[in-house]
Structure 1
Amino acid sequence: MAGRGRGRGRGRGSRQVSTESTPGLEGKVKATAAISFEKKNEVVHTSNSRKQAASRPQESPTRLGTQQNGSNARKPSTPRQNSSDMKQEHLKEKKGIASPQASTVVPKRMPNNGTTKMPDNSTVDGAEKPNDIQSNKKEYVRKGSEPQEDSQRSIVRPGPDEAHRLYSETSKRLRFVVQNLRLKMDDISIAASKVNDIVNQILRSEDITKHPLFAKIEAMNTGSYYERLKILHPNEFDIMLKVPVERITLTPFEKTGKTEKSGAYYTLALKRMSKDDPWRLYIHQESRQILQSLVLSDLRKIVKAALKRTGYNITIQRKSPKSPAITFEIESKPENISVDLVLALEVNQSWPEAVKDGMKIEEWLGTKTRKDLRYEPFYFVAKKPGDISETQDVDDVWRLSFSNIEKEIVTNHGHAKTCCESEGKKCCRKPCLKLLKCLLELIKIFSRKRCLGVFCSYHVKTAFFHCCVDKFLDQDWKKEDLGSCFDRLVESFLKHLENAQLPNFFIPSHNLFDEFPENCFQVLQSEIRKEKSLNYPIFDHITVR
């Protein structure tokens, strides 16, 4: 179990050392006297001499200068040994070899008192450390885990009852962390009201309402905030701006030099267009495929103009070539709020063939639920493949998205329909997901390994979905078993890292790790296993609220 690894022994077969051991010179004198006494009695072996030898206390064969169970403690009397055997034992002890009579010592449990600290005011790539990560916070110390002197440690193997107690203690500690990850209601209200007001002003602007294509645009709240999975501070919002598109042909995109199709990327061509169809301005004239750059460019201009009239102090971030979002920052206290507006093309037709074997939630959420969800619309976002050839034109490539379905699954996550509702039992699925998201985020902050930047919360959520499919019963996620359930989720994520395989939950043929450098997997594995072995001391950087 995490945080209960074995401590190092004190030598081969060695015994626990007393803090008041006999000086080395005195030990040598006593050992020599014992051997001389045995030589004198070697010739005569009578019953009386055996009785006397048996009743005489002997020095235990420990290392020179040490004794067992205290400075004056002696080993219980034993039958007389052959003098040659005792001489051999004495010679072995003199050379540092353990006696066969020495008792076996069980490796100690390494204490975890949550004292791992980071330097104050540490930075990541020149940026100041977030306010919620403080290395000088009040430490959370588990009961019974305070450091002790070696001579006072209780060295026992935990039995079933002890193991259960340790798991209970871990669950208690992790619940403490989850409690401190919750957002304050005041912070939520202030941040959400600002974001909603700005988005509503954008959608009501004349540039939107009178635009031939964007007049039908609607906001769809997605992401961790609206799934109630946001941790630490409510400073990031993801909002999809969905635009309906009808009668399109989906063609799987093939990368140059690769024959297989991931099933995640497509080109979208309109089947029929009237003369006044607004999409005519945003398609390739020959292929009739919708072009990313044209749609995003117009939408960005409209949003930028609308933001200037909102009355808020807003900064629009520079356009990123790899991001499908229009990002802006709202000036706010205690920290600014970042908003990503993601254009999404809404499609109401049969799901693509690549999705047929995905979303295997029949045992977890039910066959009917899966069937109903497959009638929901799906979306395409302007996200390009990451490892494409520089010579390959991908302006007409869109990535499949099921953000709406993910939100539905996270919200209604129980095998029983009443799971985590007011009248139902509580599970620990969402707390486990929050903890793993937090673990990844903290590791990325404090390890300062640039290669870890490729990992994001979506990978954690995908691994969580797969784990929920494997362990689909609510009793597998009991609230009181948070410690063991979180360990199981961590191990599941580590297996994906070890195999460099994380299948898209909806598109099994799409490996989310396919475009990542090989070394990043080993680095993240090492960091997570180190934290797990020490019972996640990195969580002690979460601010006590």
Structure 2
Amino acid sequence: MSDPVSPELTNWIKVTAKEIKVRQDDRSWATEVVNHFRENLLKFLKSSSDAPLFESAVILNTGSYFEKVKIHSPNEFDMMLMLQRLPSSNVTCLDGGLFYRIDLQRPTRHPIKDFVLENELTVSSSRVLNEVHRLVRKFIKTYKAPDKRCRWEVNRKRMFSPAVTLSLCRSEKNSEELISVDVVAALEVQTWPSAVRDGPDVGNWLGKKVRQEIRGQPCYFVPKRLKGRNVNVDAKESWRISFSHIEKKLIACHGNKKTCCESKDTRCCRKQCLMLLKSLIEGLKQTFPEQLEDLCSYHGKTTFLHTLSSRYDDSMWACPMLPSCFLLLVTALKDHAQQGVLPHFFAPNCNLFSPSYFPRKKLLFLVEALEDQLRDGLPLLKPQTPVCPLRSALVNVETPQLSSVQTNKIHIITCAFVIIIAVVSSLAWM
């Protein structure tokens, strides 16, 4: 980076990087609660006689928490519910490489037969998603969280979302959410579609061997429909390809050298940079909810992965370089927005900043917002209010709250007591 980072900004970035880390106590409690939920959900699915497609399901933990780049609080978890591998099938691309129609090559006795359209070949994403909703709701009716102060509830369906979202709340009614979990069904297809067949550009970064290993991984499709009005049947029953499992591996094994981050002497600042960028994006969305409603953390992750591919040497990410590396990452996101081009890391023909995904007017607003942040010293990185620990939020439930009448009585008694002491003191001096 050509311009030096001021000492004040350097110090602030380093302090913020420490502050946004998840507390260890919260991590332990949340992990215990979510693991208990996951294990019991799997037991329920294996014993469900009316859902053969889900009997052998396996859960793959994905998302920022399991990538160890979660910020502030462990309050969001993603679970990919991997179903039985499909029999021979064809996938037809519906856009630049993210959305597909899945067709069986022939009618089958595979459990997927219950989720095909009338032609007996096209796999219906909406039917699979509805079945996940049904099973999760059925499971929640009898399941109890290990912490008796909490309860799970299933949220309403969200348009265009592939997930069944659950919230862990305090036991009383209308209480706030402590943890959310997204359960997403995924169909496994061994052969990668042609739009993504070359695999991610990690040859210079991780080596050709790792790139081949990635290409040997199966790919998964989640039930998400294409956005847009007056869409055809294919779009309504579309599947989105998912590389969550590979993204998790890339972020875990992120070094150009195999020893990166294995010891204190070989640590880099890559993950810290991503966490800071996620925090900045979160701050932008909270400050400008309407103008930046299309912005999400995945734009930051995609920018991050592209930057790792071009700045692949571990020496470029040494820990003392955290401030300059982070500012370079913010500048990279701004440049992508300014050019209106952010290729998906695995499907390069799909532009995440195209007008169909991100309206041009809002993209220009993002550019201006990022320029303001860079010019003013990243004020949105400064936390507005401290994040309440999850355990403290539960402890507060057990603390009795005084009514306004009780508070007034205490205030009157206190005032009377003060007056009595003052009178007695004055009499003593007489």
TM-score of the two chains, using structure 1 as the length reference: 0.65
The answer as to whether partners of 1:503 and 1:511 remain within 8 angstroms in 2 is yes
Aligned partner (choices 37, 40, 46) of residue 198 of structure 1: 37
> What secondary structure does 1:247 align onto?
coil
CA drift of 1:287 comes to 5.5
SS of equivalent to 1:454: coil
**Structure 2 CA distance for aligned equivalents of residues 386 and 424 of structure 1:** 47
CA distance in 2, matches of 1:351, 1:271: 16
**Which residue identity lines up with residue 286 of structure 1 in the other structure?**
N
User: Do structure 1's residue 477 and structure 2's residue 317 form an aligned pair?
Assistant: yes
Shift of 1:298: 1.8
Partners of 1:446 and 1:201 lie apart in 2 by 39
Q: Which residue of 1 aligns with 2:364?
A: 522
- CA-CA distance at 1:389 after TM superposition: 3.1
Supply the distance in 2 between the matched residues of 1:205 and 1:392 (Cα, whole angstroms). 33
Structure 2 residue 345 is the aligned partner of structure 1 residue 505: yes
Query: In proportion to residue count, which structure has more helix?
Result: 2
Pairwise CA distance, 1:226: 0.3
1:535 equivalenced with 2:377 (yes/no): yes
Partner of 2:418: none
**Alignment partner, residue 262 of structure 1:** 96
Deviation, 1:285, is 3.0
* Contact kept? 1:265, 1:397, Cα under 8 Å: yes
What is the CA–CA distance in structure 1 between the aligned matches of 2:18 and 2:381, rounded to whole Å? 12
Partner in structure 1 of residue 119 of structure 2? 286
Pair 1:466-2:299 in alignment: no
Q: Describe how 1:192-341 pairs up with structure 2 within 5 A.
A: 192-205=31-44, 208-210=47-49, 211-254=51-94, 261-274=95-108, 276-286=109-119, 288-312=121-145, 313-332=151-170, 336-341=178-183
Measured in 2, the distance between the counterparts of 1:535 and 1:206 equals 51
Distance verdict in 2 for CA 1:404–1:339, change over 3 Å: same
**How far, CA to CA, are the matches of 1:297 and 1:207 in structure 2?**
18
Which stretch shows the higher mean deviation, 332-341 or 371-380? Answer: 332-341
Say yes or no: does 1:183 pair with 2:16: no
Residue in structure 1 matching 2:267, options 385, 403, 426: 426
Matched ranges for 1:30-45 at <5 A: none
Contact 2:80 2:186 in 1 (8 A): yes
Instruction: State how far apart, in whole Å, the 1-side matches of 2:86 and 2:113 are.
Output: 13
Kept in 2, the 8 Å contact 1:247–1:272? The answer is no
Corresponding residue for 1:131?
none
Q: Note the 1:153-172 alignment, pairs <5 A.
A: 166-167=5-6, 169-172=8-11
Bigger Rg, structure 1 or 2: 1
Q: CA deviation at 1:188?
A: 0.8
Does 2:184 align with 1:342? yes
Unaligned 5+ runs, structure 2: 146-150, 388-430
**Letter of the structure 1 residue corresponding to residue 12 of structure 2:** R
What displacement does 1:325 show? 0.3
Aligned length: 375
The 4+ residue runs of structure 1 with deviation greater than 6 A are none
For 2:218, the equivalent position in structure 1 comes to 377
Q: CA deviation at 1:470?
A: 1.1
Tell me, yes or no, if the aligned pair for 1:208 and 1:302 is still in contact at 8 Å: no
* Amino acid aligned to 1:367: K
Check whether the contact 2:168–2:177 (CA below 8 A) recurs between aligned residues: no
Summarize the alignment of residues 71-150 of structure 1 with structure 2, pairs less than 5 Å apart: none
The one of 232, 239, 251 aligned to 1:410: 251
Q: CA deviation at 1:252?
A: 2.5
Could you say what secondary structure the match of 1:281 adopts?
helix
Residue 230 of structure 2: aligned partner: 389
Q: SS of 1:228's equivalent?
A: coil
Q: Structure 1 pair 544/339, CA: closer, same or farther in 2 (3 Å)?
A: closer
2:196 alignment partner, one of 355, 366, 369: 355
In the aligned structure 2, how far is the partner of 1:267 from the partner of 1:303?
25
The secondary structure found in structure 2 opposite 1:244 is: coil
CA displacement, residues 256-282 of structure 1 (integer Å, 9 cap, x when unaligned): xxxxx41211111122444x4322211
The amino acid that maps onto 1:346 is E
